[in-house]
Amino acid sequence: MRCEKGWRGVVRRLACVLMSLALGGIVAQAFVSAAQGKGLQVTPGALFVQSVFLGKLYDVYEASGIRLTIHNDSEREQTYVLSTHRPSEVGISGWLHGYAALPDPRWFWFDREEVVVGPQGEGRVNMFFEIPQEERYYNQHWVFALGIRGKPGTGMIQIALYPKIQIETISKETVTARPDGPLGLEPSVISIYNLPLGTPRQATLRLYNNTAETRRYRLTSKTFPAQAGKAPPISVSGGYEWIPEPGWISPTKDWVTVGPQERAAVPLRITIPKGPGHRGRNWESILFIESEDGRTRFARVQIQTEKKEAHSRRSGK
């Protein structure tokens, strides 16, 4: 898809349309037509990929049908240079809301470094990525930017676009190495299945302070509903919807102190009250973790409620 001229000559933008696709056992969500500049448009404008296995080579097009598509809206042939970047390299800081910068942008690459696109034409590029098979890379939430810019010396104004890519590696309950980054956690996804309504359930999240100083962390359960024309900083997982009341999931402490190079277990209390429409639901909440030094991470709490009341409780047995 792309922004296209249509009804009565008015430009009809497909702003942040969400597509969910199977990507080799993971879920990719592409926010379409969200990146454009004068004479240049790129789709997808953002890409969100979950449950990435370590050590596995992903061909994005082969698995999902998504290619990087470059639209040249000018009247002359253009050459575009492709690259990958940490957010800080392209002057973007707002992306690090719960995400950390991808340690090495070279883990994501293209089938070519340049693409030539004719006037009013399109160029398509295949994308690939592979996260190294290292224990510390489980339970990670990373973000980085693709770079698409006009090649210097081709006579065009040097426009550059930077679509956002979010990658979440597979969750693991227990890791044998400290998680990567100053603030680590395990697991990154807490899953509760067939939860009876009105019955409290306990779960545990472990925080790792990988710095040389004692840190205090604030924990909050929240959701990030999409807003018109804008992709949310954290997207809901495929197959789930945001929980109606994030307070149904609550840590036993709002603040947790963790010493240098130590970890702390944080108990969570999960209770879905009895109510109409609460059975057979797949709900998700974000447990957002904020450090006093400004770093943020998050864990997903995914709940599948019971589809019907158990016979023993209905009969009073």
Domain ranges of the chain: 4-169, 183-312
**Site of tokens 């702003």:** 15
Helix (H) or strand (E) holding 169: strand 164-169
Q: Which residues contact 71 (CB under 8 A, 6 or more apart)?
A: 2, 40, 41, 42, 43, 117, 121, 122
Say which residue the tokens 């970890």 belong to.
Answer: 263
Q: What is the pLDDT of residue 3?
A: 33
Q: What is the pLDDT of residue 192?
A: 96
Cα Dmax for the chain: 80
Query: Is residue 60 within 8 Å of 66, Cβ to Cβ?
Result: yes
pTM for this prediction: 0.86
In whole angstroms, give the CA distance from residue 90 to residue 195: 44
Q: Yes or no: is domain 183-312 CATH 3.40.50.720?
A: no
Domain covering 4-169, topology? Immunoglobulin-like (2.60.40)
pLDDT at 156: 56
| pLDDT for 93 | 76
Q: What pLDDT was estimated at residue 106? A: 97
In order along its 317 residues, the chain shows pLDDT tens digits of 333 333 222 222 222 233 334 454 445 555 544 355 557 888 888 888 999 999 999 999 998 889 999 999 888 889 999 999 999 999 887 888 899 999 999 999 999 999 999 999 999 999 999 999 999 999 999 999 999 998 876 555 667 889 999 999 999 999 999 999 999 999 999 999 999 999 999 999 999 999 999 999 999 999 999 887 677 889 999 899 999 999 999 999 999 999 999 999 999 999 999 999 999 999 999 999 999 988 999 999 999 999 987 654 444 44
Do the first three CATH levels of 4-169 and 183-312 match, i.e. the same topology? Answer: yes
Q: What's the helix, strand, coil split of the chain in %, to 5?
A: 10, 45, 45
Helix (H) or strand (E) holding 70, with range, is strand 68-72
